[in-house]
């Protein structure tokens, strides 16, 4: 009989069931009325801004530019508060039509405001380099100088103002609409497990793949495949539409390849990203070596795809919400009380939404919102040890956002390539605490296996998924609309290269590309996971080497937000991101853990 996740029965404990975020501070406790009021105020200010500055940017002096950027920052804050409230409400209840309608209203109004302000971006790009630097040299430009410099990198790809307006307006009923439809379709997927009294969410069914019983894992995987089947052609159509939509945008803007726009946003060159992908691809022997060891630990000749996440522990260790909270806070406190106090606010001030609920978006994330408010963390807490590490991970994002808030709306966020630094660092802190407490080789093996599999998922699997994205974007442009089978072929091709002969790719797994939201929401996103993981591991190695003296440098790096280029942020903690060997150093850290796991397996008498 299939054992259901605890979240499909009673909550793991009463406390987690009540862990819901309080979104009222975003809208002064006024709910939907507050959202509409913020948007109305933003629209009024956008009209006034356009009347004051349209056609006049070249005439400004440094003081005038500073005042214009202050007004723009205020506008971003208003729209950001409204948008954060609507999107966070939608994340925890995608089935509520009223919430969906509010989110659509916000997107439409935000786009209208954005188009009203497009002139500023275009006029800024039109300035010659010398004039732009004169304006940025003025006193008080620190809160926006790096942002405006990076915006100028888009100069070769910008269209005329009327064309930019059309693309922005159509985006709401184009890519934005398809993305929302995909989220609603996936939140509604129900998986019917053998002998289970009620269907479960996709998130809960996938959680069963980490269980100890192979028959149950196989049954769960088959049930997921069955649940994905009815909407497969619809999701393929969504993918095709968005792939073509991006191809049109790229052609109109004369981007040289499908990834250029993402690399520009990440402040990464095409060459550096290719170096990352090549370095990871050349070390596919690491996950394959782990999967062969894991097959021996599980007592099978060869893993199937549904075995990859299977626990190698004899006992599936569980943590109540209270235990998870105290463990994570203690680890953050031990690094520095400053981070511990900041992390504690997430619990005390209701900045977290933790339980699994019907209609709630799967996975976990941290929303930065806006600097004048505070970040929020969403989880789907199922009491597993992996969930404890996820809590530590998302709180890392949260403290990063909070520390960088004084940088202001233009510099609070980093590029995606650095966005995982604090989260992986925080997760590694908690992992170290758990590993120190592991009293036996078996418990060490269990923990090391989770860490290795996390690295494989973040570095190697995300790279394979990046290569799948590259395949489908290229194929869509060269071959036209792709059928379900073609998506499956390209998915299997890139997954089989990752797995080698260590893992069997089953027929059902060939459709699992269709539930991954990053391909739909943020094309080209996934390689940033590998970048961020390897960077964070290198940062953690510096902490191991330097001890307490490293803490001020690390806090300085987080507090800088996105006010500096990635290379300059790396320099704050003594890392050279331009060194081609940088990626190999991070990959070596993963291999060291694998060697430790092999030793723990031998010491435990498992191999």
Which DSSP string do the residues of 59-104 spell out, in sequence order? G--HHHHHHHHHHHHHHHHHHHHHHHHHHHHHHH-TT-HHHHHHHH
Among residues of the chain, what percentage have pLDDT more than 90? Answer: 76
pLDDT score recorded for residue 322: 96
Window from 6-20, 177-191, 248-262 with minimum mean pLDDT: 6-20
Task: Compute the distance between CA of residue 537 and CA of residue 420 in angstroms, rounded to an integer.
Answer: 10
Collapsed DSSP state (helix, strand, coil) of residue 414? coil
pLDDT score recorded for residue 478: 97
Contact 280, 459 (CB under 8 A): yes
pLDDT score recorded for residue 270: 84
Query: Is a pLDDT exceeding 80 seen at residue 580?
Result: no
Query: Is a pLDDT exceeding 50 seen at residue 148?
Result: yes
Q: What does the pLDDT look like over 513-539, one tens digit per residue?
A: 999 999 999 999 899 989 888 888 889
Contact 109, 93 (CB under 8 A): no
Neighbours of 126 (CB within 10 A): 14
pLDDT score recorded for residue 305: 97
Contact 92, 357 (CB under 8 A): yes
Task: Compute the distance between CA of residue 422 and CA of residue 536 in angstroms, rounded to an integer.
Answer: 7
| Domain 16-180: top CATH class | mainly alpha
Q: What are phi and psi of 352, to 5 degrees?
A: -130, 140
Query: Is a pLDDT exceeding 90 seen at residue 298?
Result: yes
Query: Is a pLDDT exceeding 60 seen at residue 599?
Result: yes
Task: Compute the distance between CA of residue 353 and CA of residue 577 in angstroms, rounded to an integer.
Answer: 35
Collapsed DSSP state (helix, strand, coil) of residue 139? coil
Binning pLDDT at 50, 70 and 90, where does residue 562 land?
A: very high
Mean pLDDT of 582-607: 90
User: DSSP string of 297-361?
Assistant: HHT-SSEEGGGTT---SSS--B--HHHHHHHHHHHHHHH-HHHHHHHHHHHHTT-EE-S--TTPP
The mean pLDDT of the chain is 92
Neighbours of 578 (CB within 10 A): 12
Task: Compute the distance between CA of residue 14 and CA of residue 513 in angstroms, rounded to an integer.
Answer: 35
Query: Is a pLDDT exceeding 60 seen at residue 7?
Result: no
Among residues of the chain, what percentage have pLDDT more than 70? Answer: 97
Task: Compute the distance between CA of residue 132 and CA of residue 116 in angstroms, rounded to an integer.
Answer: 22
Query: Is a pLDDT exceeding 80 seen at residue 445?
Result: yes
Q: Is the dihedral of CA 579, 581, 583, 588 positive or negative?
A: negative
Mean pLDDT of 497-520: 96
N- to C-terminal Cα distance for the chain?
29
Query: Is a pLDDT exceeding 70 seen at residue 500?
Result: yes
Q: Check residues 201 and 498 and name the one with the higher pLDDT.
A: 498
Binning pLDDT at 50, 70 and 90, where does residue 73 land?
A: very high
Mean pLDDT of 60-77: 97
Query: Is a pLDDT exceeding 50 seen at residue 241?
Result: yes
Task: Compute the distance between CA of residue 466 and CA of residue 468 in angstroms, rounded to an integer.
Answer: 5
* Closest alpha carbon to 30 in 85, 79, 74: 85
User: Environment class of residue 61 by beta-carbon count within 10 Å: exposed (0-12), middle (13-18) or buried (19+)?
Assistant: exposed
Task: Compute the distance between CA of residue 505 and CA of residue 517 in angstroms, rounded to an integer.
Answer: 21
Query: Is a pLDDT exceeding 50 seen at residue 450?
Result: yes
Task: Compute the distance between CA of residue 525 and CA of residue 515 in angstroms, rounded to an integer.
Answer: 15
pLDDT score recorded for residue 315: 62
Query: Is a pLDDT exceeding 60 seen at residue 8?
Result: no
Full-model pTM: 0.81
User: Environment class of residue 549 by beta-carbon count within 10 Å: exposed (0-12), middle (13-18) or buried (19+)?
Assistant: exposed
* Closest alpha carbon to 533 in 353, 276, 327: 276
pLDDT score recorded for residue 269: 83
Mean pLDDT of 131-150: 94
Mean pLDDT of 314-331: 89
């Amino acid at each position: 009989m299939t054992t259901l996740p605890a979240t499909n029965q009673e909550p793991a404990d009463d406390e987690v069931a009540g862990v819901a975020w309080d979104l009222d501070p975003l809208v002064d406790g006024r709910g939907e009325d507050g959202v509409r009021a913020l948007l109305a105020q933003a629209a009024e200010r956008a009209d006034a801004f356009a009347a004051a500055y349209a056609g006049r940017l070249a005439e400004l002096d440094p003081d005038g530019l500073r005042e214009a950027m202050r007004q723009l920052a205020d506008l971003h804050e208003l729209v950001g508060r409204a948008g954060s409230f609507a999107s966070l409400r939608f994340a925890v209840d995608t089935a509520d039509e009223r919430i969906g309608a509010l989110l659509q209203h916000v997107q439409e109004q935000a786009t209208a405001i954005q188009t009203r302000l497009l002139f500023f971006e275009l006029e800024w790009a039109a300035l010659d380099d010398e004039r732009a630097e004169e304006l940025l040299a003025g006193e008080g430009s620190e809160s926006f100088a790096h942002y405006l410099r990076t915006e100028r990198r888009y100069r070769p790809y910008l269209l005329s103002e009327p064309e930019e307006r059309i693309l922005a307006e159509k985006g709401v009923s184009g890519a934005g609409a398809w993305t929302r439809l995909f989220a609603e379709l996936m939140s509604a997927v129900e998986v019917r497990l053998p002998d289970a009294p009620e269907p479960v969410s996709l998130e809960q069914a996938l959680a069963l793949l980490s269980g100890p019983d192979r028959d149950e894992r196989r049954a769960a995987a088959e049930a997921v495949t069955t649940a994905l089947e009815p909407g497969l052609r619809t999701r393929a159509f969504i993918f095709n539409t968005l792939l073509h939509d991006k191809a049109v945008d790229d052609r109109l803007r004369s981007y040289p390849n499908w990834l250029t726009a993402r690399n520009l946003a990440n402040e990464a060159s095409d060459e550096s990203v290719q170096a990352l992908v090549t370095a990871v691809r050349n070390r596919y022997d690491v996950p394959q070596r782990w999967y062969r060891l894991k097959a021996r630990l599980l007592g099978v000749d060869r893993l199937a795809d549904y075995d990859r996440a299977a626990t190698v522990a004899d006992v599936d260790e569980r943590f109540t919400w209270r235990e998870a909270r105290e463990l994570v806070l203690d680890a953050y406190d031990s690094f520095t009380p400053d981070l511990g106090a900041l992390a504690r606010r997430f619990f005390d001030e209701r900045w977290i939404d933790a339980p699994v609920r019907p209609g709630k978006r799967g996975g976990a994330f941290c929303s930065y919102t806006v600097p004048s408010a505070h970040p929020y963390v969403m989880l789907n807490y199922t009491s597993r040890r992996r969930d404890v590490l996820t809590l530590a991970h998302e709180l890392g994002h949260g403290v990063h956002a909070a520390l960088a808030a004084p940088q202001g709306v233009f510099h609070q966020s980093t590029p995606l390539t650095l966005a995982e630094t604090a989260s992986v660092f925080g997760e590694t802190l908690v992992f170290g605490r758990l590993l120190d407490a592991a009293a036996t080789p078996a418990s060490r093996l269990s923990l090391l296996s989770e860490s290795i599999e996390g690295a494989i998922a973040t570095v190697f699997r995300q790279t394979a998924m990046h290569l799948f994205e590259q395949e489908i974007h290229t194929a869509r442009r060269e071959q036209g609309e792709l059928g379900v089978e073609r998506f499956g072929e390209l998915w299997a091709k890139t997954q089989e290269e990752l797995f080698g002969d260590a893992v069997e790719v089953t027929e059902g797994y060939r459709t699992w590309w269709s539930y991954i939201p990053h391909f739909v929401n943020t094309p080209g996103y996934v390689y940033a996971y590998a970048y961020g993981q390897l960077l964070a591991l290198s940062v953690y190695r510096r902490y191991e080497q330097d001890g307490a003296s490293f803490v001020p440098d690390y806090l300085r790096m987080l507090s800088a937000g996105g006010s500096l280029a990635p290379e300059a942020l790396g320099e704050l903690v003594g890392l050279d991101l331009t060194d081609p060997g940088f990626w190999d150093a991070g990959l070596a850290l993963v291999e060291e853990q694998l060697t430790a796991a092999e030793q723990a397996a031998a010491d435990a008498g498992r191999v």
